[in-house]
Amino acid sequence: MAVPQRLPPVVRQLASDRLGLARAAQTKRSRQLKARIVDADRVVQSICPYCAVGCGQRVYVKDERVIQIEGDPDSPVSRGRLCPKGAASEALVNSPKRESRVKYRRAGSSDWEYISLEQATDMIAERFIKSRRESWEQEDDEGHPLHRTLGIHFLGGATLDSEENYLIKKFFCAAGALSIENQARI
């Protein structure tokens, strides 16, 4: 029979749980415990960033912060399951090791310095144009058209979205910086 929970456990146990092994020992916190994802602000369906199986993930967000990432039971590919890396996605996204500010190393310097994102974009654009101009090849030595530069090399892509790959290929081709490569060949 229900025993008023405000009584101290030692009294509660006399009423209905003499050995004190079950409800009598339960605290208010335990009674009102709930899963932290129940009151998440929103749930988003996503895909694991690690390997190419493409497991479905559910991302729970509260106060604009990812509080949990677990498998997406709707996915016909993974049926709600994840591997250790996929299960660690929340720890990846919230890893203390993650850097969130732009850093710059001056030529010859022995340490980083912080610069703004805008400044970095401008400096990189300058260098891109300068290097492109310096190493531009309009034609080969027999006059065949090249209109390219091999002075700039881009590496990366397999961890990027297809849309990102598309814009990178589009822009770098237009710029003649055709040497772009990614892990597909690694």
Partner 1 sequence: MSVDDGRAATWEGNPVRSYHEQPVLKKPIWTWEIPTYFFTGGLGGASAGLAQLAELQGNGVLARRAWTTAAAAAAVSPTLLISDLGRPKRFLNMLRMFKVSSPMSVGSWILVAAGTCNATVTLNAWTGALPRLRQIAAPAGALLGLPMSTYTAALVANTAVPAWHEARRELPFVFASGAALSAGAAALITTPPAYAAPARRLALGAVVCEMVSSMMMEHRLGEHARPYKEGLAGKLGWARRLSMVAGAAMLHRRGESSHLAAAGAGSMLLAGALAKRWQVFRAGVQSATDPGNVIGPQRAAVERGEGHGAVRR
Partner 2 sequence: MGSNMAEQHPVGFQWVLEAKERGAKFIHVDPRFTRTSAMADLHVPIRAGTDIAFLGGIVNYILEHDAWFEDYVRHYTNAPVIIKREFHDTEDQGSYADVPPDLRPAGLFSGWNPDDLAYNVDTWGYAGTSVELGAGKSEQQADVSGEQAHGAHGMELEHGEPPELDNTMRDHHCVLQLVRRHFARYTPEVVAGICGCSPDHLIAVAQALCENSGRERTSAIAYSVGWTHHTISVQNIRAASIVQLLLGNIGRPGGGLLALRGHANIQGSTDIPTLYNILPGYIPMPHPVSHPTLDHFVELNGPSTGAWGNLKSYMVSLMKAWWGEAATPENDFCFDHLPCINGDHSHYAMMMRALDGGLKGMFCVGQNPTVGSANTKLMRLALAKVDWLVIRDFQPTETATFWKDSPEHDSGEVRTEDIQTEVFFLPCAAHTEKDGCFTNTQRLLQWHEQACEPKDDCRSDLHWVYYLGKAIREKLRGSEDPADRAILELTWDYPVKGAHREPDAEAVLREINGTGPDGNLLASYEELKDDGSTTCGSWIHCGIYGDGVNKPARKRPRSEQNWIAQEWGWSWPKDVRILYNRASADPAGRPWSERKRYVWWDPDQGQWASLGDSPDFPGDKSPDFVPDSDAKALEAISGDKPFILHPDGRAWMYAPSGIVDGPLPTHYEPQESPFKNVLYRQQKNPTRQLFSRPENPYNPSGSDPGADVFPFVLSTYRLTEHHTAGGMSRSVPYLAELAPEMFCEVSPALAQERGLTHGDWATIVTARAAIEARVLVTQRIKPLTVHGRTTHLVGVPFHWGGVGIVTGDSGNELLSVALDNNAHIAEYKVATCDIRPGRRPRGRGRLELVEEYRRRAGIAS
Partner 3 sequence: MTLDVRQWSATYGADSKPRMGFFTDTSICIGCKACEVACKEWNQIPTSIQGFTGNSYDNTIALGANTWRHVAFVEQRLPAGVEEGASPVEASARAQAINWGVQTYQEGDGLRWLMASDVCKHCTEAACLEVCPTGALFRTEFGTVVVQEDVCNGCGYCVAACPFGVLDQREDDGRVWKCTLCYDRLKDGLEPACAKACPTDSIQFGELAELRSRAERRLDQLQSAGQRRAQLYLADDENGVGGAGAFFLLLDDPEVYGLPPDPVDTTRDLGSIWGATAAAGAALALGLAAAVFGGRG
Contact residues toward partner 3 (CB under 8 A) are: 1-2, 9, 13, 16-17, 19-27, 29-30, 33-38, 68-71, 78, 80-88, 90-91
Residue 66, φ and ψ in degrees, nearest 5:
-70, 120
CB of residue 17 to partner 1, shortest distance in Å: 9
List interacting residues with partner 1 (CB under 8 A): 8-10, 13, 19-21, 24-25
Q: Which residues of 81-118 are buried (b: 16+ CB within 10 A; e: fewer)?
A: bbeeebbebbeeeeeeeeeeeeeeeeeeeeeeeeeeee
Judged by beta carbon distances under 5 to 8 A according to partner kind, the member of partner 1, partner 2, partner 3, none in contact with residue 23 is partner 3
The residue (of 19 and 117) whose beta carbon lies closer to partner 1 is 19
The residue (of 78 and 149) whose beta carbon lies closer to partner 3 is 78
DSSP state of 135: T
CB of residue 62 to partner 3, shortest distance in Å: 14
Judged by beta carbon distances under 5 to 8 A according to partner kind, the member of partner 3, partner 1, partner 2, none in contact with residue 16 is partner 3
Scan for tokens 């709930």, then name that residue: 34
Spatial contact of 183 and 158, defined as CB atoms under 8 Å apart? yes
Judged by beta carbon distances under 5 to 8 A according to partner kind, the member of partner 2, partner 1, partner 3, none in contact with residue 76 is partner 2
CB of residue 49 to partner 1, shortest distance in Å: 33
**181: number of CA atoms within 13 Å, CB side?**
8
3-state secondary structure of 133: helix
